Amino acid sequence: MTDLATELAQWEQDEIDRANASGRTPVVFVHGLWLLSSSWQPWRDLFEESGYATLAPGWPDDPPTVQEARAYPEVFAHKTVQQVTDHYLSAIAQLDRKPAVVGHSFGGLIAQKIAGTGAAAATVAIDNAPFKGVLPVPLSSIRSSSPVLGNPANRGKAIALTFDQFVYGWANNLDRDEARQLYDSYHVAASGVPLFQAVVANFNPFHNEVTVAARNTDRGPLLIIGGAKDNTVPLAITRATYNYQHKHNPGVTEFTEIPDRGHSLTIDHGWREVAEPTLEFVQRFTS
């Protein structure tokens, strides 16, 4: 575990303390690239109303607000998949009860890495970034990641998407007004490192940071959710994720396809269509 990962912000520590004091089963939400943990607030409200204690740590050094993130975008640079995973594991280690873990995009990959350590009571990965062993590379995914991968120097930078890039990768199934509202409300810069790590994972014969311990029998129940119209993480990737996990783990592994939904499915007007089956799955295995 890296030194960076153990440095929880005070607000993150406060959320851990609140969850422990509640006596409720905790649910940990993990965001991906180009968002902050505040993007989970509607989900947190739903889960809290259903009797859970929720927490949504950030990635290491994440600013608390979108406004601050846009003022100091350089803070996002250099974050790696393992550093972020270790940061969440640092938070989870302080919880009195084993949590359910819900992640989106690279957060969905990180959620599966957490599950692979045996630290999750149940896990839901939504439009997850691919890990080592997940082979499909659809053209739309290549195009969505090209703003970062198109320049090798971006590996060490924090990269923001233009509005048109956001529309293609995130909001291709939405009207322009909603796409603009989401972009203005949620979009922040992101580390280029995880995308470079993911794109080379299957060319590295050894263990790397984009590896998931799918064979761990303590992984716990896992639900993979895929948006049918996602350009960034197309169904070919989420289905391949399900097939890999189902093949290598004897535990519960399920797949749910959400029709007509793009990569913004956790933050757009239809978020409840994704949150409700997530909640139902968590309830089945944390009662």
The pLDDT of 16-33, averaged and rounded, is 98
| 172 token code pair | 């291709």
The pLDDT of 110-122, averaged and rounded, is 98
pLDDT higher than threshold 50 for residue 28: yes
The answer to whether residues 2 and 82 touch, using CB atoms and an 8 Å cutoff, is: yes
**C-alpha span between 257 and 236 (Å, rounded):** 11
The residue with tokens 């291709």 is: 172
Residue 204: the pLDDT is 77
Residue 6: the pLDDT is 56
Q: What percent of the chain has pLDDT over 90?
A: 93
pLDDT higher than threshold 60 for residue 4: no
What is the secondary structure of 133-155 as a DSSP string? T-----HHHHHHHHHHHTSGGGG
pLDDT digits (tens, 9 = 90+) for 164-176: 999 999 999 999 9
Between 80-94, 146-160, 204-218, 259-273, the lowest mean confidence (pLDDT) is in: 204-218
**C-alpha span between 194 and 217 (Å, rounded):** 27
Q: pTM for the full model?
A: 0.96
